[in-house]
Amino acid sequence: MNKQTAISAAGITLLSASVLLLGSMTLSAQNSKAKRPNILVILSDDIGYSDIGCYGSEINTPNLDRLGNQGIRFTQFYNTARCSPSRASLLTGVYPHQAEMGHLSSNNFPEPGYRDDLNRNAVTMAELFHQAGYSTYMTGKWHLAKEMTATGDQSNWPRQRGFDRFFGTLNGSGSFYDPGTLTSNNTFVAPGKNFYYTDAISDTTVKFIRQHPKGKPFFCYVAYTAAHWPLHAPEKEVAKYKGKYDIGWDSLRAIRFKKLQKLGIIGSNCVLSERSVEVPAWKDEPMKAWQLRRMEVYAAMIDVMDQGIGRIISVLEERGELENTAIFYMQDNGGCAEPQGSEKPEVPPTAEQLVLKPTSYDVVNLNKKPPYTREGRFVRSGRGVMAGPAEAWMAYGPEWANVSNTPYRSYKQYTHEGGIATPLIVHWPAGIRSKGTINLQLSHLMDILPTCIDLAGIAYPKTYEGKTIIPVEGKSLVPAFAGKNFERELMFWEHSGNRAIRKGAWKLVSRVAAQMKFNAGESTWELYNLENDPSETTNLAQKFPGKVKEMAELWETEALRTKAKPWPWNK
């Protein structure tokens, strides 16, 4: 760990001194001394490092800003580069391959780290909190079970992995107006009139908290799909951002970079990485109106999510629970450059397609991209289709993802900083005394489980329901609440052959040419010193070949230990 760590020096009022010692006392003994905190974990989807206000954005996020300004903002917090792996790591406290979620729940391979169906040797936070007497609730995106049919195996659905109540989706993406696999507990349901998924997640969370019995602690996991494609948002919300992005992506990146520096999120040693090679200069973009509309809708999606977080905060205040609720906000990966048809010219619909065709899925839409909306309008995608309504299927592409990940390089799926570095906000009025502090220590999604059970005085088990449990990999962040170090130095990544390892300030990273077409000679290691060069602009591999060899060998050791190898990609 470098010497920068603790500009955060956040103090903590100990509800019970023993709460800070993982598993140091029995739950019943801790109960007799202090009220256990509620735990609220919020995860957003495909949002970049600089996309919320207190991390440099122009997007209106007053509620997240409030949490950040009254809590702790971590600046070197990491995810695992993709949806399913990040969710697995968050909920189990181990590397995703150890939980057998090395790729996506929709892709299943025979290799142990890539079976992509959350295994039973990894215990979830919900299972631990449920066993400890907490009520456990979940709303939003699951994406951890390979079986997603009403008649199939439901053993890896949320209710069967520790949650008392669940409302959300099982798959990874879908329409915000008619999401695929919309589920209440274990039953598929259809959306109601004027349905918008982000609001439904927020409002159901409010309902669960409002109905929660007083005097009993709860663990609540809120997994938004905002702002994952498709770009869908109510028109009145999009209108708020009309004209906001007319300056274009080049100017906007520069403005965000300066704000990040002013906020103290990045230091003077950080430089703004160059515009991605696949992105033209804004002055050379031929379809500015279409591009602007994409970013306006994306911003509105985050705005609506923040409004919902505000409603959740309000119900906690109404019930007198905000003071003793530890809230964690984070993101599953960096901004997403996946095209979703946006790089191909729009194909004009045929006359037949323009005729309204009421859908046949009366109960639930099981399609990620249905051919028609529930109202019968043809769903369109391609360069030129204006984002926002249900009949548009659009992503915001590398152009705006490059802005989202300011000041970093690359995107979701990749292990450069743009794909794996995202915010972490921790807010807990009863436990964090200093307000608005910034913490520079290395931290990771897998640290959230040990942190949360540490606060609740729950011991991590060696066995659960007759299964031997993988030792926890994450570290409790609770010492950081008191301005102390938590002894984190080494981190490891692999996704689709994209690789990285960080040890102290040094990071070794490699990006493959094509997803799932990896071979050993296809990519070259890059070496960066992130203490001097946080945005990975100066590759030191040729200057320090010994360090490359040392860290590459360490990566190989970790890959075998955590089941990231053998790879399934070459078969």
- Residue-wise pLDDT tens digits, 417-432: 999 999 999 999 999 9
pLDDT at 513: 66
Question: Length of the chain, please?
Answer: 571
Tell me the mean pLDDT in the region 122-129: 98
Q: Is the pLDDT of residue 3 over 50?
A: no
pLDDT at 341: 67
pLDDT at 343: 66
Q: Give whole-number Cα distances, 487 to 249, 338, 412, 478, 492, in Å.
A: 38, 36, 27, 12, 16
Coil, strand or helix at 87: helix
Q: Which of 200, 500, 180, 252 is nearest to 396 (CA)?
A: 252
Query: 2 forms bridges with which residues in the sheet?
Result: none
Q: Which CATH architecture has domain 489-571?
A: 2-Layer Sandwich (3.30)
Q: Is the pLDDT of residue 21 over 80?
A: no
The CA distance from 196 to 175, in Å, is: 9
The CA distance from 382 to 131, in Å, is: 48
The CA distance from 518 to 188, in Å, is: 38
Per-residue HEC secondary structure of 256-293 comes to: HHHHHHHHCCCCCCCCCCCCCCCCCCHHHCCCHHHHHH
The count of other CB atoms within 10 Å of the CB of residue 469 is: 19
pLDDT at 414: 96
pLDDT at 29: 31
Q: DSSP label at 159? A: G
Tell me the mean pLDDT in the region 441-454: 97
Buried b (16+ CB within 10 A) or exposed e, 240-266: ebeeebeebbbebbebbbebbbebebb
pLDDT class for 7, splitting at 50, 70, 90? very low
pLDDT tens digits for range 53-96 = 999 999 999 999 999 999 999 999 999 999 999 999 999 999 99
Lowest mean pLDDT among 112-126, 504-518, 556-570: 504-518
- CATH superfamily, with its number, for domain 17-486: Alkaline Phosphatase, subunit A (3.40.720.10)
pLDDT tens digits for range 142-157 = 999 999 988 889 999 9
Q: Which of 176, 164, 101, 170 is nearest to 142 (CA)?
A: 170
Compute the half-sphere exposure of residue 485: CA atoms within 13 Å on the CB side of its CA.
Answer: 9
CB 427 within 8 A of CB 71: yes
What mean pLDDT, rounded, does the chain reach?
Answer: 90
Question: How deeply is 131 buried, as exposed, middle or buried, from its count of CB atoms within 10 A (0-12, 13-18, 19+)?
Answer: middle
Compute the half-sphere exposure of residue 419: CA atoms within 13 Å on the CB side of its CA.
Answer: 25
pLDDT tens digits for range 201-257 = 999 999 999 999 999 999 999 999 999 999 999 999 999 999 999 999 999 999 999
The CA distance from 175 to 397, in Å, is: 17
Tell me the mean pLDDT in the region 430-459: 94
* Location of structure tokens 């968050």: 90
The CA distance from 63 to 169, in Å, is: 25
pLDDT at 33: 41
Q: In what order do the strands lie in the sheet with 165-169?
A: 187-188, 182-184, 165-169, 135-141, 218-223, 38-44, 325-331, 424-427, 72-78, 437-444
Pairing of strands 72-78, 424-427: antiparallel
The count of other CB atoms within 10 Å of the CB of residue 446 is: 27
Active-site pick, 83, 270, 336, 452: 83
Domain ranges within the chain, ordered by starting residue: 17-486, 489-571
pLDDT at 374: 87
Active site residue 220: no
Six-digit token string for 57: 């954005």
Pairing of strands 165-169, 490-495: unpaired
Q: Which of 12, 38, 43, 16 is nearest to 322 (CA)?
A: 38
Six-digit token string for 448: 């959230």
Q: Which of 204, 166, 63, 136 is nearest to 452 (CA)?
A: 136
pLDDT tens digits for range 247-302 = 999 999 999 999 999 999 999 999 999 999 989 999 999 999 999 999 999 999 99
pLDDT at 87: 98
**Are the folds of 17-486 and 489-571 the same?**
no
The per-residue DSSP string of 207-263 comes to HHHHHSPTTS-EEEEEE--TTPSS-B--HHHHGGGTTTTTTHHHHHHHHHHHHHHHH
Tell me how many helices (H) and strands (E) the chain has.
13, 16
User: Is the torsion defined by CA of 75, 80, 83, 89 positive or negative?
Assistant: negative
Q: Which of 446, 358, 398 is nearest to 77 (CA)?
A: 446
The CA distance from 358 to 366, in Å, is: 16
Active site residue 427: no
* pLDDT above 70 as % of the chain: 91
pLDDT class for 514, splitting at 50, 70, 90? low
pLDDT at 342: 59
* Preceding amide of 407 cis, omega within 30: yes
For residue 167, the surrounding DSSP H or E stretch is strand 165-169
Q: Is the pLDDT of residue 22 over 70?
A: no
pLDDT at 340: 77
Active-site pick, 97, 103, 143, 495: 143
